[in-house]
Amino acid sequence: MFKSVSTSLAALAMVAAAPVAANDLRDDLAADMPDLMELYRDLHAHPELSFEEYKTAAKLAKRMKALGFEVTEGVGKTGVVSVLRNGEGPTVMLRADMDGLPVVEQTGLPFASKETATPASGVTTGVMHACGHDTHMTGFIGAAQLLVEHKDKWQGTLVMILQPAEEAGGGARAMLADGLYTRFPRPDYALAFHDAAAPQPAGTIGISPGYALANVDSVNIHVNGIGGHGAYPHTTKDPIVLASAIVTRLQTLVSRELSPLEPGVVTVGSFLSGAKHNIISDEAKLQLTVRSYTDESRKLLLDGIARIARGEAIAAGLPDELLPVVEVQEDFTPSTFNDPDFAERLVTIFGERFGEDRVGTTPPVMGGEDFSEYRRADPENIKSAIFWISGTPQPMLEALEENDTPLPSLHSPFWAPDAEKVIATGAEALASAAIDLMPVGGAG
């Protein structure tokens, strides 16, 4: 995943021994790590779902207040904004996401989550930090502590936000709508990290200059038909046959309409219709996830879905009043774009601090992240970047190398990152980047 690091065991040993820049941040962080790991285990054991992060937010807000930040709770429902003013200079915003997922944990950790909740689906489920947001929050607190301890090394305004509902795709939007950029200092730079289930040593950093993550759209297609007896199909308009034609034709959007140089995904994740062997239903329902990078590609794919659904229905002989209904859901997550010059600056900062063998560029992915919203709200004035930190434990890397054993992915009930390395790397990376961006006596 990260271009500059080989996945061989020999390379892993080289990365572990890579030279690093001398710094006192790391000494202070080492003293903070026992408390941070206790916080991590607590957060891991007590996850909360999107927009339900009340206890998590209160717990972390208390820590930020104790550090001397001006803290505002309840921003965007459960978000927390903490501001620390330290003289004239740039404004840097650091972000961590707080929500867990409706996943039953199967990691076997002694502090595994036993929490349950009932999400919007109405089905009670286990809750787990299966995407590593617990490491994000803990690294965030570690960075806050370092920046307070080293206020003599930077000058400017630090805005640190704890965001709800990243998994639901609406948390960043909710915080912005609740005045993030009007009630609080507007950032010049926005920065975040995300753990990764990558085939690299835990603590390896990867950054994607330019597009890093994709536009994410959820689309519902309600396909109408005329039902009847399965023995007399000529008296019906079979919605299963029609929906099948739509599914097949949708595959040509990426293969025949989108430029080969533009990434795109149209996946039909759900196809529901019928209830009995010998009954032709009068409806079918399709659920799609649609991924792209540019606004132009997104429009092409969404317009094409609507056109294909309508065209196939007309070809099947359905009257106008029974043409399919295509619904693009409102929880759209825009693509995440790392300003290339900012990303390259981070590669340099992190390379000097952690060693070049531990830092590199990485290809973009088709996953989604609503961190993108912070830049899109003011793209002319805000530079932003999100970077990856591998959390893959060494035994998993060895099993991959020796037996080709697949790594568990993010959102897997088995994902248990090497939290200590992710947290230590994340805290030091966020703090060192903020210090570089807000130099004493400089313009940032």
- CA dist 255 and 259 (Å) reads 8
Asked whether 287 and 269 are in contact (CB, 8 A), the reply is yes
Tokens matching residue 46: 């007590």
Catalytic status, residue 167: no
Residue 207 has pLDDT above 70, yes or no: yes
In CATH terms, 215-328 corresponds, of 3.30.70.360, 3.20.20.100, 3.90.600.10, 3.40.640.10, to 3.30.70.360
Mean pLDDT to the nearest integer, 243-250: 98
Fold of 9-213+335-437: Aminopeptidase (3.40.630)
- The DSSP-derived string for 375-389 is HHTSTTT-EEEEEEE
Q: Which residues contact 114 (CB under 8 A, 6 or more apart)?
A: 45, 126
pLDDT digits (tens, 9 = 90+) for 44-85: 999 999 999 999 999 999 999 999 999 999 999 999 999 999
End-to-end Cα spacing for the chain: 30
Asked whether 223 and 283 are in contact (CB, 8 A), the reply is yes
AA identity, residue 395: P
Exactly one of 48, 52, 97, 166 is catalytic; which is it?
166
Asked whether 207 and 385 are in contact (CB, 8 A), the reply is yes
Pairing of strands 205-207, 359-361: parallel
pLDDT digits (tens, 9 = 90+) for 27-52: 999 999 999 999 999 999 999 999 99
- CA dist 419 and 392 (Å) reads 9
Residue 86 has pLDDT above 50, yes or no: yes
Predicted structure pTM score: 0.91
pLDDT digits (tens, 9 = 90+) for 370-417: 999 999 999 999 999 999 999 999 999 999 999 999 999 999 999 999
Tokens matching residue 351: 């390379």
State residue 7's pLDDT score.
35
pLDDT digits (tens, 9 = 90+) for 281-318: 999 999 999 999 999 999 999 999 999 999 999 999 99
Exactly one of 28, 48, 99, 436 is catalytic; which is it?
99
Distance, C-alpha 349 to centroid of its chain: 23
Best CA proximity match to 40, nearest among 92, 109, 126: 109
Catalytic status, residue 188: no
What band does 162 get if pLDDT is binned at 50, 70 and 90? very high
**Rounded mean pLDDT of the chain?**
94
Alpha helices in 123-223 (DSSP H): 133-149, 171-177
Mean pLDDT to the nearest integer, 202-207: 98
Q: Could you give the dihedral angle defined by the CA atoms of residues 35, 37, 41 and 44, in that order, rounded to the nearest 10 degrees? A: 120
- CA dist 418 and 122 (Å) reads 33
- 121 by DSSP, 3-state: which? coil
Asked whether 126 and 102 are in contact (CB, 8 A), the reply is yes
* 163-198 per-residue burial string, b: 16 or more CB within 10 A, e: under 16: bbbbbbbbbbbbbbebebbeebbebbbbbbbbbbbb
What band does 23 get if pLDDT is binned at 50, 70 and 90? low
Percentage of the chain lying above the pLDDT 90 cut: 92
Best CA proximity match to 377, nearest among 334, 331, 438, 329: 334
Mean pLDDT to the nearest integer, 144-166: 98
State residue 2's pLDDT score.
52
What band does 122 get if pLDDT is binned at 50, 70 and 90? confident
What band does 12 get if pLDDT is binned at 50, 70 and 90? very low
Tokens matching residue 167: 């998994």
Domain boundaries defined on the chain = 9-213+335-437, 215-328
- CA dist 263 and 432 (Å) reads 34
State residue 19's pLDDT score.
39
- CA dist 395 and 392 (Å) reads 8
State residue 443's pLDDT score.
65
